[in-house]
Amino acid sequence: MTVENQRAGVVVEDMDQDRFPAGMRVLAVDDNPTCLKLLDTLLRKCQYQVTTTNQAVMALKMLRENRNKFDLVISDVNMPDMDGFKLLELLGLEMDLPVIMLSGHSDTELVMKGVTHGACDYLLKPVRIEELKNIWQHVIRRKKFDSKVQNNSLNEDKACHGAGDSRLGVISTLSADQDGKLCRKRKEQNEDEEEDDEENEHENEDASNQKKPRVVWSVELHRKFVAAVNQLGFEKAVPKKILDLMNVEGLTRENVASHLQKYRLYLKRINSVAAQQASMVAALGGADSSYMRMGSLDGFGEFHSLAGSGRLSSSALSSYTPGEMLGRLNSHASLVLRGITSSGLVQASGQNLSSSINTLGQIQPTPLPSNQSASLFQGVLTSLELTQLQQSKCTSSTGDFNPIKDSRGFTAVSNGFSDTRVTVGSSTSLLPGASSHPLVLQGNPQLPDDRGAFVNQYSLGVASLTPDTFDIGGGGCSNFLDHSNNESWQSAIQLSRFSSNAVPLRHELHIKAKMGRTQTGLQSKLEPHCQYQKFCGFCQWYNKSLGPQFGPK
């Protein structure tokens, strides 16, 4: 495997303008050594800078280490350690890199799959040098769209704010964003006011021919994003407002717009799956386990919408007993609980969060049948934190809630529902692995009037749960747990509080219960706090980010 030379690493994000497309940095992934060697040579012949690996996981690791190290990824479809499409999705989600699929198969379905998963191109083996000579166009295309979008959005912003603006923005980003975009790299999580559009425009225009650093939608950032979306209300969440709410320096409206688009797509996909969750939710019943712990709290409120419409079998869901609904987002099963008839969820009595947690704690996460689920989100279901719902408001009758219609989607993604036969069908395996995958939760705004929807969904800005249906008992409704920053945690809590409908993350609640109520207590008490350590996404994430000494018990 060739290692990129040092010089390339130093070049940072700027593309070598003069020589482009020569010097374009390509990462080639193929488990077949013959093909890989051939690909390597062909690419070198095109004067690209080539790095090769025969393992998808290795490729992912390299990309995660430094996403700006490569301009383009070429990957085989059939690989033993990870499905090429899965890799494709991950790459599209995590880093806006153009990805080209390579395969010996030319079946229409496969090509279609490649397209829907976001591949820029689909090449057949044996690959010809003529085709490789042109792959640089995908990199250029992204940049062009990016600057075009920014120009458009700037105009729009000047023209008007509001729905129209965002819609335009979204549309343009939609079209431009087909291949993702190169975004300004988010510098840090300061609370500084994000620079204004003027600045962006200038920077972008200047840099329009240069490769811009990509925005990394980390757990943190996504959390803010979702918080902002929730606060605004899913239907009213327009990129500009989200951006303002997020208050992140270095983030542009376009970044937000494209992320929002992806978020919506995910939610939509989850929707159909979630519809089947209704019965599962019904099964939840009981005040105790009314909520499913949706996923690890790694990325609070982050969840990847499991795509996989219709993959969840509602029957499987209904077999869950409330106590078993503990979803462990950290594991890869992401269960999209859509329409969990909140009966189960909502019932969590606010007072008894701890007990609920305990009950939930007994839930053994079981791997979801679908492999795809593995890739799902973490911590999606903060919505499960409905426990804070006041009992009175909670529809205590389990059967009360109407399953959220598919149109409304929100799907709580939970991992590892025990007995979950719900296959989270996410064809998009969203960031599984690392505990800090930004989760995208998408929900259809039209939540039916039933209470079913999870509040958390709402707070997640997913389904637009009508707030009045849930009256989530005050206190600490925060869907996002800001691990690293107590203040922001609190502000996140503020953000996520959706007219008191926000439901705190279950784990967050139990952390509070265990570790002391103070926000500062959270950080100061770093020792393993939780009996769910093993499958508590938050713990895992938290511990991972804070050091091995705090590893799970």
CB 370 to other proteins: min, Å:
18
Determine, following the binding rule CB under 8 A, whether residue 494 of this chain makes contact with other proteins: no
CB 105 to other proteins: min, Å:
8
Q: What are phi and psi of 336, to 5 degrees?
A: -95, 115
Cα 436 to Cα 142, 296, 485, 528, 538: the distances in Å are 25, 10, 15, 19, 10
Secondary structure, 3-state, 231-288 = HHCHHHCCHHHHHHHHCCCCCCHHHHHHHHHHHHHHHHHHHHHHHCHHHHHHHHCCCC
Determine, following the binding rule CB under 8 A, whether residue 202 of this chain makes contact with other proteins: no
- Cβ contact 63:73 at 8 Å: yes
> Of residues 15, 29, 42, 511, which one binds other proteins by CB under 8 A?
42
Determine, following the binding rule CB under 8 A, whether residue 126 of this chain makes contact with other proteins: yes
Nearer to other proteins, 55 or 78 (CB): 78
Q: What are phi and psi of 109, to 5 degrees?
A: -60, -40
Determine, following the binding rule CB under 8 A, whether residue 78 of this chain makes contact with other proteins: yes
- Number of shown-chain residues binding other proteins (CB under 8 A): 17
CA 254 from chain centre, in angstroms, equals: 17
**How do beta strands 72-76 and 335-338 pair?**
unpaired
Nearer to other proteins, 75 or 279 (CB): 75
> Of residues 41, 392, 520, 524, which one binds other proteins by CB under 8 A?
41
Query: DSSP H helical segments within 304-454, as ranges?
Result: 314-318, 342-346, 353-361
Interface segment toward other proteins; rule CB under 8 A; list 126-134, 213-221, 299-307, 392-400: 126-134
Paired tokens of 140 = 């250029």
Determine, following the binding rule CB under 8 A, whether residue 45 of this chain makes contact with other proteins: yes
Determine, following the binding rule CB under 8 A, whether residue 38 of this chain makes contact with other proteins: yes
CB 443 to other proteins: min, Å:
37
Interface segment toward other proteins; rule CB under 8 A; list 123-131, 290-298, 342-350, 360-368: 123-131
Cβ-Cβ contacts under 8 Å for 464 (sequence gap 6 or more): 233, 234, 235, 408, 443, 444, 445, 446, 447, 453, 458
Rg from Cα positions in the chain: 22
3-state secondary structure of 527: coil
- Give counts: helices (H), strands (E), the chain: 21, 7
Integer Cα distance of 489 and 265 in angstroms: 27
CB 39 to other proteins: min, Å:
8
CB 31 to other proteins: min, Å:
8
CA 252 from chain centre, in angstroms, equals: 19
Integer Cα distance of 515 and 512 in angstroms: 5
Determine, following the binding rule CB under 8 A, whether residue 33 of this chain makes contact with other proteins: yes
89-108 residues in contact with other proteins (CB under 8 A) are 104-105
Nearer to other proteins, 104 or 162 (CB): 104
CB 77 to other proteins: min, Å:
10
Cα 522 to Cα 92, 95, 464, 487, 517: the distances in Å are 34, 31, 30, 11, 8
Determine, following the binding rule CB under 8 A, whether residue 22 of this chain makes contact with other proteins: no
CB 134 to other proteins: min, Å:
16
- Cβ contact 401:451 at 8 Å: yes
Determine, following the binding rule CB under 8 A, whether residue 129 of this chain makes contact with other proteins: yes
| Of 284, 502, 308, nearest in space to 403 by CA | 284
Determine, following the binding rule CB under 8 A, whether residue 158 of this chain makes contact with other proteins: no
**How do beta strands 411-414 and 335-338 pair?**
antiparallel
Nearer to other proteins, 125 or 167 (CB): 125
401-430 residues in contact with other proteins (CB under 8 A) are none
Interface segment toward other proteins; rule CB under 8 A; list 26-34, 429-437, 449-457, 533-541: 26-34
Nearer to other proteins, 105 or 158 (CB): 105
Paired tokens of 424 = 């989270």
Interface segment toward other proteins; rule CB under 8 A; list 41-49, 138-146, 302-310, 509-517: 41-49
Determine, following the binding rule CB under 8 A, whether residue 371 of this chain makes contact with other proteins: no
> Counting beta carbons within 10 angstroms of the beta carbon of residue 516, is it exposed (0 to 12), middle (13 to 18) or buried (19 or more)?
middle
Paired tokens of 276 = 């089947």
Nearer to other proteins, 45 or 187 (CB): 45
Nearer to other proteins, 66 or 106 (CB): 106
Interface segment toward other proteins; rule CB under 8 A; list 35-43, 93-101, 470-478, 482-490: 35-43
Paired tokens of 304 = 């990847």
Taken as a whole, the chain contains a residue count of 553
Determine, following the binding rule CB under 8 A, whether residue 128 of this chain makes contact with other proteins: yes
CB 411 to other proteins: min, Å:
31
Interface segment toward other proteins; rule CB under 8 A; list 32-40, 255-263, 274-282, 504-512: 32-40
Interface segment toward other proteins; rule CB under 8 A; list 121-129, 138-146, 297-305, 315-323: 121-129
- Cβ contact 75:101 at 8 Å: yes
Determine, following the binding rule CB under 8 A, whether residue 110 of this chain makes contact with other proteins: no
Contacting positions for other proteins (CB under 8 A): 31-35, 37-38, 41-42, 45, 78, 104-105, 125-126, 128-129
